[in-house]
Structures are given as structure tokens and as C-alpha cells.
Structure 1
Amino acid sequence: MTQFGYFLSCEEHSPNALVEQARMAEQAGFTALWISDHYHPWNDEQGQSPFVWSVIGALSEAVSLPVETAVTCPLVRTHPAVIAQAAATAAVQLGGRFRLGVGTGEALNEHILGGPWPEAPVRLEMLEEALQIIRQLFTGEQVSHRGTHYTVENARLYTRPEEPVPIDVSAFGPHAAEAAARIGDGLITMMPDGDMIERFRRSGGGTKPAYGGLKVCWGPDKDEAVRTAHRLWANEQLPGELPQILPTPRHFEQASELVTQEQVERAVCCGDDPDAHIEALTAYAEAGFDTVYVNQIGQDQQGFFDFYRTKVLPRVRH
């Protein structure tokens, strides 16, 4: 049976607000948490971007739900040896209830140190090497590595969980799905794409879990909810590789001027019709996802959690 989790948005909310949302999510009946890992928001309207590992530490004390980053880029901004330490510590704090979600990232977050932004095939190659390093460090052995992209010298993790942290790989296309099957412990994606899951499973994913995410904008006034979703997340409708290569929130704001409210309304479930929300979640369940993570756009989080607790989650679980 498909499980339903909540997706905490570091781009929109302060650290303390995220922790409070996690509490509300657990009380509403969500069974797991995703949390985004960004240096910048996608645009200035979103307005936040706390350091995810600090927030995860607070979550470990606030809730009993499992937590996963969705997703961390262990390639450019942060060396994979440092990500390994962060993930191992998070897993210890959460009593083993932590998964590391990884992907090849966006220039928006990764270019900040002034280095080059590699092309997508190179980033995928870097991700594979990065995961090799992270998994070696999870063993607790001393690691030295001299590869194509990374060097590690005499590194060892002393604080780590009893079992290695599972690593799930984000994919948005067929080649990435095949790579996720080969190098990941699970698949992460943001579309209810049954064909992608099938390719993932045929390519070696087998029975590994598949996790999906979606954004909604609950509100009693559907038109206002559409306006909110457009104001905050029009960037979600940008095509192709633009989200991976634009370097600043201002560039995303400029590109998002081409996205209309009608496009957002077609793509995002907005308003307070339970059937519409249930239909959006059911599309992921029918595609074969093991867990679906829902993110509420905007500030009315309590209203969203009350709505899902009473009118959505009881129905989708049956």
C-alpha cells in the first residue's frame, strides 16, 4: 500500500517553521518527511533557505517520523566526504530513520564557490564517484581515494549508525532512471510517471522503493490558491534543462515571467476540493510509487493539515 509523507520546503520557510510543520504533519497522519536541500530559494518571493543539516537535527528531537533529503547534491558545493559525515550524524540522531536523497543538482545552489558548472553527463559521472566515496566512508574504515573528480585522504567516520544510510537517487529522464537503478537504493522523482518506474525496475531497480513528490496549494478560494502557487512556484513549469543551469533567483524570476497562471492551474492541484487532491495522489499510487510526499504551497499550513487529516488521508488509505 502506498504511504503518504509530507515535503518540507526549505525555500519557503524558516527553520523553526519547518520543525512546527513536521509536528503538524505527524499529528495529521503523514508517515514520513522529505526536506529540500538548497543554498538559495528559486526566487525572492519564496524568501528562505536554511542549512538543511541543522534543521534535520531539530527534527530528530521534534518528531518520530523518518526523514530524507530531497535532494542533496554531493558534487560541487559540498564534498562527498562531508556529506557522508552529515548523513551519518543525521542517521544517528534519528535512530536509523534517515535516508539520503541525492541528485546532480542545480547551478542555482552549486555555483556559489565560483567553479565551473559541468554538463549533465559529467555531473552524473561525478555523482557515481561521489556515492562510491560516501558508501566507503559508511563502512567506518579509513578511506583514501584518488579518482577522476575527487580526492579523499585518510578519512574515517567515527560517528555513524549501525547500518549504512540508504541512498536514493533523483531521476527526471530515462538515462537518469537507469543510473538510479544501478547506483541507488531507491528512486526519487517529481512526476507520476509509471514508465519511468518501469524503466527503473527493468534496469536493475527490482523491488527497490520508488518515491514521488508533488506540490499542491490548498485554500478555500481556488483562484487565490492558483495565484499563490503562481507567485511562489511558477519556476516549476520551466521546461527542459533551464532549472539546472540558471544561476540566481533573479534569473528564475525573469524566466518565470513566461509562465502563466493557466499553466500553473493545469499543473498544480489548487483549492479545497477533496476529490481533486485525492485524484492527484492516486495518480502516483497507480504509477507504482511506494511513498508520495505532498508539499503545501504558501503560509496556510494549519488549514492544509486539517484538510488532509479529515478529508484526504482517510480516503486515499482505503
Structure 2
Amino acid sequence: MKALIHEKTPGMEGLSYRDAEAPSPSAGEVRVNVKAAGLNHRDLFVLHRHKPEDPPLVLGSDGAGIVESVGEGVAGIRPGDEVVINPGLGWHKNSDAPPKGFEIIGLPDDGTFAEQIVIPAENAVTKPSHLTWEEAGVLSLPALTAYRALFTRGDVKPGMKVLIPGIGSGVATFLLQFAKAAGAEVYVTSRSETKLQQALELGADRAINSNSDWEKELNGEKMDLVIESVGAATFNQSLSQVRTGGTLVTFGASAGDEIKINLRTFFYGQFNMLGSTMGSGEEYKEMLQFIETHHIKPVMDKTYALHQYKEAFQRLDEAEQFGKIGFVIS
């Protein structure tokens, strides 16, 4: 099979699109012919987390395809089934935090940027019928991350005011769609006027430039819930927009992970700050049901053939995208 493999050298220099041995399913596993896959910021990080002394690694956490074969003992799934891949390994039921041993497909195990992948049968879930292969291929990691941050951790309710700084990423565009479907009033920020306009077209109630005075732009309105993923560049601005007794959920730090906060302001404000990451298999199925009920689709930015990976990685690294970058594989 053809695959996008990282080995020996950190960064993009260690990536190559080449032939690799097709994997075979063991007991309890299935082999999926991958139709499409999605590129995430995690893949950029893996380029440096994957060490030169480690075995060659197929990148990719998101994917969808057709079950090609099943291992011994697999029930409820058959060759020919159309599935989306839940990238979380070992987190079955919803809980306060992932259990020990939780991993994500694409490091340390081989990922979805290949013509075939072997996964536990429980991670192959029926593909939502309203999604194309390209849409299904980019869905899982960002949609699950958004779902847990917004519903499980953020406890969003109809009528709440929700702020999403840094609109444009795959997770952020899902957050916007999910929050609107839940009946919330949604505010977004970006440095890009183009992305602000795209967010308004997607349903945002207000879109403000990140370089402006947020307090002034929001006319002093405070948020019930802020979902923060940018990191140090926006964190204190985000926190300052939370109402007394409100909540900030954080799941990313793409613009730096070291911050300082005023503790007196924090405890006098009775704020809640919660961490979040990915989600359980139980939440994954809840998320799929939610997008089917509300007929939600990923916002597609641009799709590439897998051998065009350099262009795709560059687009993501330079934050040019609005929504998801995908790969068509077979």
C-alpha cells in the first residue's frame, strides 16, 4: 500500500510518501480501506514528537473508509461496512479524564494517512449517511474535541453567550456549529477579516478582530462560556470576557502555553477553569448522533491527494485554512 511515513529526521524532512507493507487484523481488529483522511495540528506536533530512534510511523488521526476484512472474534461489523474511525484508543466510557494508557491513532500506533489501517473493531463506527467521504474523513478528532469541550466540560445550554477566540481551525468551526445548534449566542474572534466574514456566514452572532479592544467591541457584555484554544496570545483577554461565575474551557495552546493570571481577579470573579482533550468512545457516539440530528457537516477548507502532503502541511502550519484540510486517499 501507499502511505505517508515519518522516520529518522524530525520535522517535514522526515516525511515521505512511499510503499509500505499492508497491515493484517488480529483478533478483535478490522482492516479498513481508507477513502479519506483529515489533517490536524496534532500531525504537525507529531513531526517533532516522533523520535529518530523510533520505528517508521504512518501519520494521521482522522479517517473514514470501508471495512475490508475482520479479525477473529469480531461481531457486529462486516466487510463492506462504511465507517468513520474514532482515533481514541482505550477510553470507552465518559469520565472526568482519560484513563491511564489512553492513546490517539497516529502516535505511537500507525495512523490514517495510508491506503489501509488496522484498528480495534470498536473504533470503526457507522459513517453518518449525510456526509461525503471527504467530510467523514476529516470529522472525528476535531468534532469529538469540540463536543467534549462544549457539552461535557462547558455544559452549554440554550441562551448562553459563548465566545470562541481564534475562529478558523477545524475544532473552532465545529464549536461554532455545535453551539448554535444547542441554542447558544456565539461570538468569535480572528485577526483575519476574511475568516470573520466566513464565521458570520456560518452562523456567528458577532465576529470581532482579535487585535481590537475586546471589551469595547463587546460593549461590556460578558460571556457565560469561553472555549479557549489559542493559548498565551489570547488567554488573559479570553478570561477577562468571562462573566462573574462563568466558565473558561481550554484545550489548546498553539500560541504558547505559559501564562500569568491575577489570582485575586480570578477568585473574586468566582470563575471556573476547566481543561479538556479529545473524548471517550461514549461521547464519540453521542457526537455522531448530534451531527446527524442537526445535519451538521464539517467546514471543508481544501482537499489534497496524499502525495500533495507538503502543500497541505504548509497551509495548516501557516494558519491559512478556514475549517478542515483533507486528503483523498482511495
What is the TM-score when the length of structure 1 is the normalising length?
0.30
TM-score when normalising by structure 2: 0.29
Answer with 1 or 2: which has the greater Rg: 2
Structure whose residues are more often strand by fraction: 2
